[in-house]
């Protein structure tokens, strides 16, 4: 149906609770090396290339919303609490690919290689990630018509591997954004990085097809961003703080051009095609976002910002000293630590401690979005000193700290204590 009137949600600049329903993005772009008309295309396919001259996630869909006219900016990332972040996309081609609602391990794409394991469910999932930038660009400066990035000669061995200026990221074990464009590996001799499991921020879901069945035209796919991952939430908080939310959708659905007899990704051409904001027939990418911007207002003067109280409890009945979830952390402490005051499993605490084989102390603790942590050590529980160490993120929501001053040999004290300190902004 051709929409004669663009429906614009009633929007106002919000602090406190907000519900956004934005029917079209500020910008979107088919992020493909040979897209030479990036600001005009009505359709953005996502597919993989197993030709070793390209990123394996070859054709991607970059989408952005300038939220600064909708949600107050510059409140500091910790002050954006999120209940739901949903992207909806529309399919433009009928029966062009098969629906797979679940993650496929990278080993299922390694056709004709050691370690290959066949895909057990038909089709390939469509995945959503955050966006990062190279080539001097940022979320604020990369537009629909900015340079894709350097392209090698078409007759050469490498045309575009990890050169696109806007690319999809997950958070790696070091907590930093990691390009997933070649997570299933690469047959290019110049590419030496090992494959790894991707951790999508959402996988597209539809009710218009059953798993394993072809997807009809005009199907809606929804992507509910994983808000149980504090690093992902931190990314979204920073985006709202800056007023620039940027996301990337892609899939490892095989393109038609599979190298005959080579590493193939399992199948003939079979990939989704998405409506962009230039499409006059199908709906544009839609963003629904519900949350709260915490302001300083504290009308009941209990030391808890009213917006924080309403977000978690629905009213202002909470008290600073209260501990309704019974986890030993007061509401005030949970506010400062960024934890959930209605969930006893969410609290700042040390989950485990041990010495590794080298005598280094190893601690695990849960993290909250947009917080920074320090480890301190003491031998008497009275004087505390900063402890040098390294933080990694081995599991979703969990940090592991490994000390760099091994307690070994004659200098090892009979007893040592550690504590985790969260820096409240």
Binding site for Ca ion (CB under 5 A): 100, 104, 119, 121, 298, 300, 302, 304, 306, 323, 325, 327, 329, 339, 346-347
Judged by CB, which is closer to Ca ion: 339, or 377? Answer: 339
- Tell me the Cα Rg of the chain: 24
| Minimum CB distance to Ca ion, residue 111 (Å) | 13
**Helices and strands counted in the chain (H then E):** 3, 20
| Minimum CB distance to Ca ion, residue 211 (Å) | 9
Judged by CB, which is closer to Ca ion: 227, or 304? Answer: 304
Compute φ and ψ for 308, nearest 5 degrees: -65, -45
CA max distance for the chain: 81
Judged by CB, which is closer to Ca ion: 150, or 212? Answer: 212
Judged by CB, which is closer to Ca ion: 229, or 302? Answer: 302
Judged by CB, which is closer to Ca ion: 236, or 347? Answer: 347
Both structure tokens of 392: 């990694």
Judged by CB, which is closer to Ca ion: 38, or 338? Answer: 338
Closest to 107 in 3D by CA, of 99, 96, 95, 119? 119
Separation CA 396–CA 233 (nearest Å): 12
Closest to 367 in 3D by CA, of 344, 329, 398, 330? 398
| Minimum CB distance to Ca ion, residue 306 (Å) | 5
| Minimum CB distance to Ca ion, residue 305 (Å) | 6
Separation CA 21–CA 19 (nearest Å): 7
Judged by CB, which is closer to Ca ion: 28, or 309? Answer: 309
| Minimum CB distance to Ca ion, residue 309 (Å) | 5
CB within 8 Å of 129: residues ≥ 6 apart:
168, 169, 170, 180, 200, 201, 247, 248, 249, 250
Residue 75: strand, helix, or coil: coil
Judged by CB, which is closer to Ca ion: 55, or 306? Answer: 306
| Minimum CB distance to Ca ion, residue 307 (Å) | 9
Closest to 338 in 3D by CA, of 376, 375, 317, 365? 365
CB within 8 Å of 337: residues ≥ 6 apart:
329, 347, 348, 368, 371, 422, 424
| Minimum CB distance to Ca ion, residue 118 (Å) | 10
Judged by CB, which is closer to Ca ion: 289, or 347? Answer: 347
Judged by CB, which is closer to Ca ion: 122, or 362? Answer: 122
| Minimum CB distance to Ca ion, residue 107 (Å) | 12
| Minimum CB distance to Ca ion, residue 15 (Å) | 15
Separation CA 267–CA 256 (nearest Å): 9
| Minimum CB distance to Ca ion, residue 100 (Å) | 4
Judged by CB, which is closer to Ca ion: 8, or 320? Answer: 320
CB 368 within 8 A of CB 339: yes
| Minimum CB distance to Ca ion, residue 174 (Å) | 27
Closest to 342 in 3D by CA, of 360, 323, 321? 323
Closest to 266 in 3D by CA, of 120, 119, 121? 119
Which of 349-376 are b and which e, b meaning 16 or more Cβ less than 10 Å from the residue's Cβ? eeeeeeeeeeebbebbbbbbbbbebebe
Separation CA 197–CA 304 (nearest Å): 40
């Amino acid at each position: 149906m051709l929409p004669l009137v663009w429906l614009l949600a009633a929007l106002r600049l919000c602090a406190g609770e907000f519900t956004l329903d934005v029917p079209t993005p500020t910008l979107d772009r088919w992020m493909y090396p040979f897209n030479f008309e990036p600001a005009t295309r009505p359709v953005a396919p996502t597919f993989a290339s197993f030709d070793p001259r390209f990123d394996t996630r070859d054709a991607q869909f970059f989408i952005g919303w300038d939220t600064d006219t909708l949600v107050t900016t510059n409140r500091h990332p910790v002050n954006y609490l999120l209940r739901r972040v949903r992207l909806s996309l529309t399919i433009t081609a009928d029966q062009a690919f098969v629906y797979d609602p679940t993650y496929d391990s990278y080993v299922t794409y390694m056709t004709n290689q050691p370690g290959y394991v066949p895909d057990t469910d038909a089709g390939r999932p469509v995945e959503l990630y955050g966006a990062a930038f190279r080539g001097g660009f940022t979320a604020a400066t990369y537009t629909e018509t900015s340079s894709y990035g350097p392209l090698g000669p078409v007759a050469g061995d490498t045309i575009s591997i990890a050169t696109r200026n806007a690319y999809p990221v997950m958070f790696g074990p070091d907590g930093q954004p990691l390009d997933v464009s070649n997570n299933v590996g690469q047959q290019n001799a110049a590419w030496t990085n090992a494959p790894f499991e991707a951790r999508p921020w959402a996988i597209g879901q539809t009710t218009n097809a059953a798993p394993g069945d072809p997807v009809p035209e005009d199907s809606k796919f929804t992507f509910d961003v994983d808000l149980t991952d504090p690093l992902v939430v931190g990314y979204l908080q920073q985006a709202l703080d800056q007023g620039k939310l940027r996301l990337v959708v892609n899939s490892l659905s095989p393109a038609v051009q599979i190298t005959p007899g080579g590493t193939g990704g399992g199948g003939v051409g079979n990939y989704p095609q998405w409506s962009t904001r230039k499409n006059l027939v199908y709906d544009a990418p839609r963003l629904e976002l519900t949350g709260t911007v915490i302001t300083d207002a504290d009308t009941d003067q209990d030391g808890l910002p009213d917006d924080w109280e309403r977000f978690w409890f629905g009213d202002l009945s909470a008290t600073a000293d209260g501990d309704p979830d019974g986890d030993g952390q007061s509401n005030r402490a949970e506010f400062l630590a960024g934890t959930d005051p209605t969930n006893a499993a969410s609290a700042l605490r040390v989950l485990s401690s041990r010495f590794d084989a080298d005598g280094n102390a190893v601690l695990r603790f849960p993290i909250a979005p947009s917080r920074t942590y320090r480890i301190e050590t003491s031998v008497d529980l009275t004087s505390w000193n900063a402890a040098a160490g390294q933080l990694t993120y081995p599991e979703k929501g969990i940090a592991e700290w490994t000390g760099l001053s091994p307690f070994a040999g004659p200098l090892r004290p009979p007893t040592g204590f550690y504590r985790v300190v969260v820096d409240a902004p």
